[in-house]
Amino acid sequence: MDYTSAKARVFVMLDADGDGIISQDEYLARTTNVVRATGRAEDDPLVIAARAGGRQAWAAMDANGDGKVTFEEYDAWAGAEAFDTVCRSVLGGLFDLADSDGDGALTRPEFTALREALGNPPGHVHAAFAVLDADGDGLVSRDDYLASIRAHVAGEGSPVGEALYG
């Protein structure tokens, strides 16, 4: 595997146990981790929506339905089309869980809680926030966040992607 490609760096983060395969449990744990980090209740409509979105994304990613995704499967699936049809809503749902006041923007603590729950190291999270908070207002908008991740997975280059997945 070319560990320098944008997709490979995301794959390595998703493969939490480092065995070269993303399991369904590893993938769905992302939502559980964000729910815990944000303190939301299981019956919160945002949690229910985020869990449903995660299951939808998993089904799309695990094309052969064997309960595991290899890098080759992920590489074939991930990209702009997958982001636009599946990942945007999934990542948006996780963003919404972290957006405690529902204003469509994350403060540094909210962004940090979200990205650390998703497996990014703290130093990468702080660098990504600095890039996304270009106007220095202490907030990261949902649209800017999603656009930056899309650019990264689509191979268009993204300073945020480089910071998060470095």
Each residue's pLDDT tens digit, 29-71 = 999 999 999 999 999 999 999 999 999 999 999 989 999 999 9
The residue among 118, 19, 9 whose CA lies nearest residue 74 is: 9
> What's this model's pTM, rounded to 2 decimal places?
0.90
Residue 3's pLDDT band (cuts 50, 70, 90): very low
Residue 152 predicted with pLDDT over 50: yes
Q: Which one is the CATH code of 6-165: 1.10.238.10, 2.30.30.100, 1.10.10.10, 3.30.420.10?
A: 1.10.238.10
Residue 162 contacts residue 148 (beta carbons within 8 Å): no
Distances (CA, A) of 104 to 16, 58, 67, 92: 29, 25, 34, 10
Number of H helices, E strands in the chain: 10, 4
* Torsion sign (Cα): 51, 54, 60, 62: negative
What tens digit of pLDDT does each residue of 80-96 get?
A: 899 999 999 999 999 99
Both tokens of residue 123? 């130093």
The predicted-structure confidence for 98-143, as pLDDT tens digits, reads as follows 999 999 999 999 999 999 999 888 888 999 999 899 889 999 999 9
Please state which of the ranges 8-12, 24-28, 89-93 shows the lowest mean pLDDT: 8-12
- Percent of the chain past pLDDT 70, that is, above it, reads 96
Q: Where are the domains of the chain?
A: 6-165
Tokens 């948006």 belong to which residue? 92
- Would you call 64 helix, strand, or coil by DSSP? coil
